[in-house]
């Protein structure tokens, strides 16, 4: 964390993995030359501030962090840091104690006991480029401010998501909203060819409906062309959209806990993993507590806790005697790494 009255740019010119020295995408194709020039100009600017800044986050400010085949996440702005969480919790005039160990202990306490309001004092604004079907899942988190790219006003790019071969899988037999076994090589190749062909065809038809060239002129002078708000309706859910997304730290942690879970769909989980990396740069103490008490933890029901206590006492426990459903029992025994359908443990 930088001291007061320091440069907000921090060490933005230090090397960042996968990013060119000038802060652009390094020829990855994520951005147009104009967008890369804009980012370069932003990253070359420097400002004096009395606010707290976070050096590790300044290093990636404005930089597109790749996700999937054409997507990215960019940090546009942020407010607060771990010290702001501590300050809010203590309602202090300064920035909390001078000992990071005390700050970490307080943040751990807040996270462990689910005291959320101090975490709401920090905010971050992200620029996200994502497939439309991922956006439809994402937007269910209604605790953020969102402004999306308008396909009524602008023409969408020829960019659509095609999964990697290793992410093509059949419908799961147990989980009705998840994936099961990976497709065989031959079938996977056919699926990829179909997805690409259908997406290309949909975009070609979109441009025909628009009847508008890149220069804004009519492609066919004999036709008027369809309004942009109507021409877009034949595009599929794998096309990319973009938005600016601003959210407070508490609700961002909730987003990552749900969308970073192993049961979440792979595509949105990929974004959650990138955001988790951003969190670790921005608020390392809060991120460590989050990993310990949220992502790395497991919530046990009252019935489950009673069953665990019986196991610790050396009792052989059958599911039927716990009042737990078969699904909850299966989850509990998996987390506890117990063998078989019933849990048992030797007396200590």
**Domains of the chain, earliest start first:** 6-154+239-295 (3.30.1360.170), 167-234 (no CATH), 299-348 (no CATH)
pLDDT of residue 152: 86
Q: Which residues are catalytic?
A: 259
pLDDT band at 98 (very low <50, low <70, confident <90, very high): low
Length of the chain: 348
CB environment 230-259: b (16+ within 10 A), e (fewer): ebbeebbebbbbbbbbbbbbbbbbbbbbbb
Average pLDDT rounded to a whole number, residues 50-62: 92
In this prediction, residue 344 carries a pLDDT of: 43
Nearest to 322 by CA among 345, 302, 338, 340: 302
The residues, ordered by sequence, that sit 6+ positions from 26 with a Cβ below 8 Å of its Cβ are: 18, 19, 20
Rounded distance between C-alpha atoms, residue 215 and residue 236, angstroms: 25
- Residues 208-263: tens digit of each pLDDT: 999 988 777 888 888 999 999 999 999 999 999 999 999 999 999 999 999 998 88
Distance CA 262, CA 272 (A): 11
Comparing 14-18, 25-29, 91-95, 168-172, the range with the smallest average pLDDT is 14-18
Cα–Cα nearest to 287, from 273, 297, 298, 277: 277
pTM: 0.84
Torsion of CA 328, 141, 263, 250, to 10 degrees: -80
pLDDT of residue 339: 65
- For range 139-162, the mean pLDDT: 92
Per-residue pLDDT reduced to its tens digit, 298-322:
899 999 999 999 999 999 999 999 9
Flag whether pLDDT at 6 surpasses 70.
Answer: no
Residue 240 near residue 161, CB atoms below 8 Å:
yes
Q: Is the pLDDT of residue 18 over 70?
A: no
């Amino acid at each position: 964390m930088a001291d007061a009255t320091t440069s907000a740019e921090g060490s933005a010119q230090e090397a960042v993995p996968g990013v060119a020295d000038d802060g652009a995408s390094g020829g990855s194709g994520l951005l147009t030359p104009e967008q890369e020039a804009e980012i370069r100009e932003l990253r070359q600017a420097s400002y004096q501030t009395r606010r707290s800044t976070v050096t590790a986050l300044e290093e990636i400010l404005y930089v597109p962090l790749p996700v999937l085949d054409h997507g990215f996440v960019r940090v546009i702005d942020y407010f607060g840091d771990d010290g702001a969480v501590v300050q809010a919790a203590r309602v202090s005039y300064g920035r909390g104690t001078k000992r990071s160990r005390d700050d970490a202990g307080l943040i751990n306490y807040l996270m462990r006991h689910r005291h959320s309001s101090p975490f709401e004092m920090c905010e971050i604004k992200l620029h996200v480029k994502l497939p439309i079907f991922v956006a439809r899942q994402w937007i269910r988190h209604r605790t953020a401010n969102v402004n999306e790219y308008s396909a009524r006003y602008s023409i969408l790019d020829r960019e659509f998501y095609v999964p990697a071969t290793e992410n093509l899988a059949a419908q799961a037999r147990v989980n009705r909203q998840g994936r099961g076994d990976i497709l065989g090589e031959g079938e996977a190749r056919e699926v990829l060819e179909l997805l690409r062909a259908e997406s290309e065809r949909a975009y070609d038809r979109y441009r025909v409906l628009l009847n508008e060239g890149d220069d804004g002129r009519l492609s066919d002078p004999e036709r008027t062309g369809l309004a942009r708000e109507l021409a877009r309706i034949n595009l599929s859910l794998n096309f990319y959209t973009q938005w600016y997304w601003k959210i407070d730290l508490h609700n961002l942690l909730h987003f990552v806990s749900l969308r970073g879970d192993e049961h979440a769909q792979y595509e949105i989980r990929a974004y959650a993993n990138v955001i988790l990396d951003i969190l670790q740069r921005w608020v390392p103490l809060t991120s460590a507590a989050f990993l310990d008490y949220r992502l790395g933890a497991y919530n046990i029901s009252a019935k489950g806790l009673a069953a665990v206590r019986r196991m610790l006492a050396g009792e052989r426990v059958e599911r039927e005697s716990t009042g737990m459903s078969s699904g909850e029992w299966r989850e509990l025994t998996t987390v506890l790494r117990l063998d078989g359908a019933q849990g048992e443990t030797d007396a200590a």
